[in-house]
Amino acid sequence: MKGLRVAGGFVAAFLLVTSPAARADQPPADPGMPPPAASPAPPPTAPPPAQGPPTASVAPGGGTASGSYTVRLHDLERRVNELKEQIFRSKARLNLLKETVLHGVIAGSRSLITHRNEMGSTYTLIKLVYALDGAEIFAKSDDAGHIADNPEFEIFNGSIVPGNHTLSVLMVYQGNGYGVFSYLKGYKFNVRDSHTFSAGEGKLTQLKVVGFEKGNPITTDPKDRPAVDFRENIMTDKGSATPTAATGDKK
């Protein structure tokens, strides 16, 4: 019996030594000492922040979306410029109207402006613009050429401020070449000119603006033939007309 107890104690000691706990670097616990306190568990780590869906990056200079934005930006810029031009013209008209109401009616100065077309069949009037002292008073465009269906028509008839004024005109013609002048078809000719006149108190200033062909149809270059002639008449308070010399270069 004593031999069995010794053998059993030897086996128990062998199992204790070969166990994983016994193989640790720590020395074996003293049977008379209390068991060591358990080390605290490490704090739980926070989960990584959630990330949204990946955003698609557009390569510079080649994406369809980028090209669409560029087109829209150019279109917006063009419309802004058009609005600026309309505002400028509206302000000019308002200033002219204000001067007319405050001064022209009181002073009794008036002006009658008419347009007359004396161009031949080689040229068709497709655009006509008039401005008085920088303010647009008439503008019309028609690629079909119906602007000059009437040889003479009224542009402006109303009161103006006494004093000097400047009338500016732009005429755009479309070429109607035929025969040896067939190359004129499709060409456009711009004619710009201006005329300064004096509006007297109690008088009516009549201005007739004439578009005509100057020079010789054979020897004069077609681009030099379209011209403008200003014919001015001053009507006195008694209704008599005082014609002034034409300022155009009609020959």
Supply the pLDDT for residue 70. 85
pLDDT of residue 77: 85
Rounded CA-CA distance 235/241 in Å is 4
What is the widest separation between alpha-carbon atoms in the chain?
Answer: 163
The pLDDT tens digits for 31-42 are 555 555 555 555
**Integer Cα distance of 58 and 2 in angstroms:** 89
Backbone angles phi, psi at 91, to 5 degrees: -65, -40
pLDDT of residue 251: 40
Tokens of 98: 């204000």
Sketch the domain layout of the chain as residue ranges: 82-243
The better pLDDT of the pair 185, 212 is held by 212
Question: SS3 for 151?
Answer: coil
The per-residue pLDDT for range 121-174, each reduced to its tens digit, is: 888 999 999 999 999 999 999 988 889 889 999 999 999 999 999 999 999 998
Q: Rounded CA gap, 148 and 66, in Å?
A: 47
